[in-house]
């Protein structure tokens, strides 16, 4: 049985899918559905994958500047995202 993701997509679009908003997105979706289903977690994982994809070809860079426009990059996933994903992990790695 799959979850109707219409409201989840509305929440994501309403908050904007930026890595800084993913925890708020997860909290709002959990408040709406009263839990985070496998389908919802996969949707959120897809959004994380998009963040990762947008970083392609910038691996190893901490920042760069072109024509007066400066970009800074974070290394790995934000700590907030890692913490939530680790809480949802079924197998703990020690």
Residue for token pair 């979706």: 29
| pLDDT reported for residue 74 | 63
| pLDDT reported for residue 31 | 92
> Is 80 exceeded by the pLDDT of residue 1?
no
Look at the pTM and tell me if it is higher than 0.85. no
Q: Give the Cα separation of 76 and 59 in Å (integer).
A: 10
For 29, 55, 65, the CA distances from 62, given in Å and listed in that order, are 32, 11, 11
> Is 70 exceeded by the pLDDT of residue 10?
yes
pLDDT tens across 24-39, in order? 888 999 999 898 888 8
pLDDT tens across 40-81, in order? 888 887 777 776 676 666 555 667 787 888 877 666 666 777
């Amino acid at each position: 049985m799959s979850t109707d993701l219409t409201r989840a997509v509305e929440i994501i679009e309403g908050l904007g899918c930026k890595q800084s908003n993913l925890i708020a997105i997860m909290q709002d979706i959990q408040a709406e559905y009263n839990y985070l289903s496998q389908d919802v977690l996969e949707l959120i994982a897809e959004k994380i994958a998009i963040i990762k994809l947008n970083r392609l070809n910038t691996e190893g860079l901490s920042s760069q500047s072109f024509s007066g426009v400066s970009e800074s990059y974070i290394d790995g996933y934000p700590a907030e995202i890692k913490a939530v994903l680790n809480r949802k992990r079924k197998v703990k790695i020690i």
